[in-house]
Amino acid sequence: MKTDDTLKNLTKRLMEVLPAEHRMGLCVSGEMPLTGELEEIMLLLKGLLFPGFFDRETVSENTRYYKTGIDLARMQELLRHQIARGFMFCCDKDEASVTALAAEKVEQFSQQLPEIKRLLLTDVEAVALRDPAVNNFGEVVFSYPAIQVMFHHRVAHALYKLDIPIIPRIISEMAHSKTGIDIHPAAQIGEYFAIDHGTGIVIGATSIIGNHVMLYQGVTLGAKNFQYDAEGHPLDLPRHPVLEDNVTVYSNASILGRITIGHDSVIGGNVWVTESIPPCSRILQAGLRTATDFTDGAGI
């Protein structure tokens, strides 16, 4: 039938490998990481880092220890498989050659879980104490996008530092799609990091954020420009801002380039900052101010 011939012809055309696919290395022959399994890994990690909050079944305190061990083992098994897939997909390695490497990476990551939990608890405290609408800390864990995105970021950043390909970015994009907050897994973020509202925040790969920093919605920590190699490829050099301790950045501010925002500074809303700012500065659209009338958000 003519319809069958049309279908066969279209199928053949879709199966053809285009020159652009060759040039970009998009001729996939091996197994790729599975987003479904990565989502299960993140759900298991949520339960491990926030015991009792995300249980899918009733667990008594008497059985919590055993459930934690079972979930930890399950998470490690799934993560080993996905890390191996990531290496095969990105590094053109076969499964046999990456099995031991994946197991080593999972063990190294697992040892970081207590520190990831400690950091997340500082984020919960920072968000709760900076938002008068919070009723209790549990509400922040359950429902605040700041904690959802930081949970994903703390995990993705730990995996990124272990040189695990592609999976950290997938994990970051899971949170990005749900919260509208875009944090590259390479970004370095200190303790007690708080985000209020959060939609539209962008934090670039080489950003460095100190302790007790607060960002409001729409803030961009971005690059002002790029440097290129001889072949026209952008170089992965430090190009995003450094925010020192106790910095607050109000909504829709854009801080661009490898500049430093000094500690205890306040950046007002809708400003465009492309030069370094000394400590204890106050920045408005009108320019640098040294007045001391910026207490609790007043004067912004």
- What integer pLDDT is reported at residue 234 of this predicted model? 84
pTM comes to: 0.88
Q: What is the mean pLDDT of residues 118-139?
A: 95
Question: What's the pLDDT band for 129 if we cut at 50, 70, 90?
Answer: very high
Distances (CA, A) of 107 to 76, 195, 212: 8, 31, 30
Distances (CA, A) of 225 to 64, 234, 257, 272, 292: 51, 10, 7, 15, 34
Question: What's the pLDDT band for 289 if we cut at 50, 70, 90?
Answer: low
Give helix then strand counts, H and E, for the chain.
9, 15
- What integer pLDDT is reported at residue 3 of this predicted model? 74
CB 83 within 8 A of CB 167: yes
Q: Is the pLDDT of residue 299 over 60?
A: no
Q: What is the CA radius of gyration of the chain?
A: 23
Question: What's the pLDDT band for 300 if we cut at 50, 70, 90?
Answer: very low
C-alpha neighbours within 13 Å on the C-beta side of residue 169: 9
CA distance 252 to 269: 6
What percent of the chain has a predicted confidence (pLDDT) above 70?
Answer: 91
Q: If we measure between CA atoms, which residue out of 101, 88, 99, 96 comes closest to residue 31?
A: 88
Q: Is the pLDDT of residue 91 over 90?
A: no
Q: Kindly report, residue by residue over 15-73, the tens digit of the pLDDT.
A: 888 888 777 766 665 678 999 999 999 999 999 999 888 877 777 778 888 889 999 99
Q: Six-digit token pair at 208?
A: 């460095």
